[in-house]
Amino acid sequence: MIQVASITFRYGKQQPIFKDFSWQTETGQTWAVIGASGCGKSTLLYLLAGLLQPATGQILINRTAVACPRPQTGLILQDYGLLPWATLRHNITLGLDLRRFYGPDGKHSPVEMMPEDINFKVNRWLDQLGIADVADKYPGQVSGGQRQRAAIARTLVLEPDLLLLDEPFASLDAPTRENLQNLVLHLHTERLLTSVLVTHTIEEAVYIGERILILKQQTNFKPRIIDNPYAGIMPPVQSDGYQTLTGMIREELRESAQ
């Protein structure tokens, strides 16, 4: 699904974050990306989304080079990215409205959708994500969890094949965070979505990611990948293997930050 082929990327004249860096995923996998602050977690996500471009090398999704944002990629941010002057329903409808002008290829193929078809798609996700009762409220009138559900709905209504999540649950309370983590896993199972989650929490990385990518604070040349047999098992897990795995990740993070 994703092929990162020998990319090099730096901001301005700073030390490269990635140099001749290669990494790949398979369709339907869930990945967690973890590392110290400033190691390039969000940068990698924005490169995958086509919002940034590598200086050398290339990124391919489904064997097509990513030269700009692709409509089939969904990006969910920590700060929700909702328009404060629009209701949750209108925020969720935004992407479908834009496709009336630019189409699913993001360029020149507008898609004509009847209002009832748009309403059906939007109402489906409002119901599935449990925010139908606040659909006509504005972001400032609802909780953080409801705002994040609206951001997820806005992405999923466009039927992406790749879901990129940039620490989307970091600012939420524990029960809401766990609920939305479970939702991501459910969507992965139901829709066979390929997903890449950036997180700074070891337990979240182990809960969400079938495979875990650890980035270093210095230049990343080679990916450090850990296979995770505990994905989908809610922590804390009373298992020697689980404790060994989280301890190994913790040690890797300590070394990568030096």
**Nearest-CA neighbor of 139 among 105, 180, 188, 88?**
88
Residues 68 and 169 in one domain: yes
CATH number of the domain that residue 240 is part of = 3.40.50.300
Q: HSE, CB side, 13 Å, CA atoms: give it for residue 189.
A: 9
Sign of the dihedral through C-alpha 182, 147, 93, 89: positive
Tokens for 17?
């974050």
| Cα–Cα dist 99/109, whole Å | 8
Residues 182 and 257 in one domain: yes
pLDDT tens-digit profile, the chain (258 residues): 899 999 999 999 899 999 999 999 999 999 999 998 889 999 999 999 999 999 999 999 999 999 888 888 999 887 778 999 999 999 999 888 777 666 555 554 556 677 788 889 999 999 988 899 999 999 999 998 899 889 988 988 988 999 999 988 887 888 888 888 888 888 878 878 899 999 999 999 999 999 999 999 889 999 999 999 999 887 767 788 898 999 999 998 888 766
- Number of domains comprising the chain: 2
C-alpha separations of 154 from 73, 106, 134, 182, 246 in Å:
12, 16, 15, 18, 33
Q: Which one of 159, 187, 210 terminates a domain?
A: 159
Residues 177 and 247 in one domain: yes
Residues 119 and 223 in one domain: no
Residues 93 and 57 in one domain: no
Tokens for 34?
């973890």
Residues 128 and 95 in one domain: yes
Q: Which one of 140, 159, 178 terminates a domain?
A: 159
Tell me the Ramachandran region of residue 137: left when phi exceeds 0, alpha when psi lies from -120 to 50, beta otherwise.
beta
Residues 68 and 175 in one domain: yes
Q: Which one of 108, 134, 159 terminates a domain?
A: 159
Sign of the dihedral through C-alpha 33, 37, 169, 205: positive
Domain that holds residue 36: 1-72+164-258
Sign of the dihedral through C-alpha 111, 115, 120, 122: positive
Q: What is the pLDDT of residue 103?
A: 54
Q: What is the pLDDT of residue 101?
A: 65
pTM: 0.89
